[in-house]
Chains A and B, each alone.
Chain A
Amino acid sequence: MRLAQLQQALDAALEGRPDPQLQQLVASRRLPPDECLALYCQLLQVARTRTLQRLFPACFTLLGATHFQKLAQLCADRLGADFGSRPFGEHVPALLGRYLEAQGQLAAMPFLPELAQLEWSLHCAWRAPDDPELNLDILADFPDELHSEVRPIASAALRLMNARWPILDILDACRQQKPWQPVLQAPGGWLCIYRHLDKARAERIDEGQLLMLSGILMGHNLYQLSCDVPNLNEMLTWMIARGWICRLEFSCAADDPETSLE
């Protein structure tokens, strides 16, 4: 069997479609061919499950090992299909939604897809590119009348998420190994996910903060932001201090690196 054909047959076998010709080719002193291939399938599945468990520890805790393994299998089944080109794990929140629909006994935890989304966002924030060091002194180089044209740029790690459920409280309960049921009555709301001192964090934000951050993420300059955010200066200072804003840019020439105020 040629190398390319062998690779194809191995791929198929790992996806549960054994090739009779491959079975003739495989040898071991300890195991029959079908068990050799089954062992590689199992090792692959264990590796994927472990990876997802690291990415979604709270979901793993709440689902339990059996359901989580089934979910991991579902992910594996979809790897070669519509999710093949996306980062491994990104599709878990969506798949978890579909999984819940098919599993009646998990109906008490409808928040799981949102919780998975939060865990994925925390992972993305944790591994996001570093932000450049902010140098506000350069702001002095711009004439006062142009300051309204300045555009704040959000940290690469920053993400916003709207949750119907109190997933932050649920996540905290899981981390502290406490029951999650008592916190279920708490409200959902908007969350800001970010990185501080290398640790991924999430916190609730109010409507003013949401307007400011969503405006920044849409590329609004200070003038545009001031239309929605009455206490803009105060908010700007606060968000710079928290590292949510990583640099300021002159919005008329946003693509020109010469005018970037890093």
Chain B
Amino acid sequence: MSDYIHWSLAGTGISLRSCNVDQIINDRPNIRWCEALVDAHLVEGGEALHNLERVRHHYPVTLHGLGLALGSTAPLDTGYLVRIRALADRIDASWISDHICFSSLGNCFSHEVLPLPYTEEALDHIASRIMQVQEFLGRRILLENPARYMSYNHSTLSEGEFMAEMARRADCYLLLDVNNSYVSEYNLGASALDTLDSLPPERVREIHLAGFDSRNQYLLDSHNSPVSEPVWALYEEAQKRFKGTPTLIEWEQDVPELSVILREARRAQRIMRRIQGHRRLI
């Protein structure tokens, strides 16, 4: 029997960082769940793991990673999968998510989210690998749309079409990063609303919100600032389509006082409640 209570995921959560984890453990702020970075916790002991376990005693925890390299053509790293499964079992993780990308530099600590071409070949490839991973982990995983700074001329599908078909073929869930959708729209011109319209609501199980950095010519998914107003507006549209979907506030760089992040979480919660009207039952 698990040491933890297996709560269902609902409402808004925040990402765990080493700089705020003590305060979360001690103050137990009014949030519904927390998300931890997989790669920071693939250890057999020590402070990071112990803190995660402490957090898990009070909140449901999801695991979010960059290292599965589901778009990569290199073989799946089974050693990495074994460690993820062990961690997920150890903390009774609500779910595991990763990105739709190459992440080709398998041994590197910090992977960059390199976008895939949205082609039939890539679709076949990633769907097959997701199925292998799900088989290994014994659970469905969630796949997130990346923030993109470039696309490929030979793509034949839109991002929304690619994600929807990938979810159908692989029988996986989707993590919609609204900030990433907005950043990609600005940088590449692909409509974020079209992406939202293409996604099957029953597959969208988590939403991410974060801040971006406005550079001279483009937007950078920087996770170092509050959620911007256009992204809040897009989030409302997302909640209209995917009512009550649990939402996470991500803040990884220049992390402010916890109260600032909690304020963002409360805003997301208010929007969710206003649109939801009643509880989502699936």
Contact = CB atoms under 8 A, between A and B. Distances in A.
A174 B125 CA distance: 49
Interface string A1-39: 111101100110010000000001111111101001101
A31 B150 contact: yes
Contacts of B111: 47
Contacts of B46: 126-128, 130, 157, 195, 198
Contact of A39 (B50, B119, B149): B149
Contacts of A29: 187-189
Given A48-B108, A88-B108, A128-B45, A2 B121 contact: yes
B33 interface: no
Interface stretch (B8-16, B99-107, B170-178, B255-263): B99-107
A3 B125 contact: yes
B154 interface: yes
A40 B150 CA distance: 9
A27 B190 CA distance: 12
**Contact size class for B?**
35 or more
A128 B45 CA distance: 6
Contacts of B119: 3
A109 interface: no
Contact of B73 (A4, A50, A131, A157): A4
Interface string B197-226: 000000000000000000001100000000
A31 B122 contact: no
- Max count, chain A CB within 10 A of own CB: residue among B109, B117, B121, B151: B109
A27 B117 contact: no
B152 A27 contact: yes
Contact of A130 (B44, B112, B125, B149): B44
Given A27-B153, A195-B46, A47 B110 contact: yes
A84 interface: yes
Nearest to A33: B150
Binding site secondary structure of chain B? loop
A12 to B, nearest CB: 11
Contacts, number: 114
A79 B104 contact: no
A138 interface: no
A85 B107 contact: yes
A36 B150 contact: yes
Nearest to A84: B107
B114 A40 contact: yes
A88 B48 contact: no
B48 A127 contact: yes
B43 interface: yes
Nearest to A76: B108
B229 interface: no
Interface of A: 1-4, 6-7, 10-11, 14, 24-31, 33, 36-37, 39-40, 43-44, 47-48, 50-51, 79, 84-86, 88-89, 126-131, 156-157, 195, 198-199
Given A27-B188, A88-B109, A129-B43, 18 more contacts: A2-B121, A3-B71, A3-B119, A4-B73, A25-B152, A28-B149, A29-B188, A30-B217, A31-B149, A44-B105, A47-B110, A50-B110, A86-B107, A89-B109, A126-B47, A127-B46, A128-B45, A157-B46
**Closest 6 pairs between A and B when the two form their complex, measured CB to CB:** A130-B45, A129-B44, A47-B110, A36-B150, A198-B47, A88-B109
Interface of B: 43-48, 50, 71-73, 102, 104-105, 107-112, 114, 116-117, 119, 121-122, 125, 149-154, 186-189, 217-218
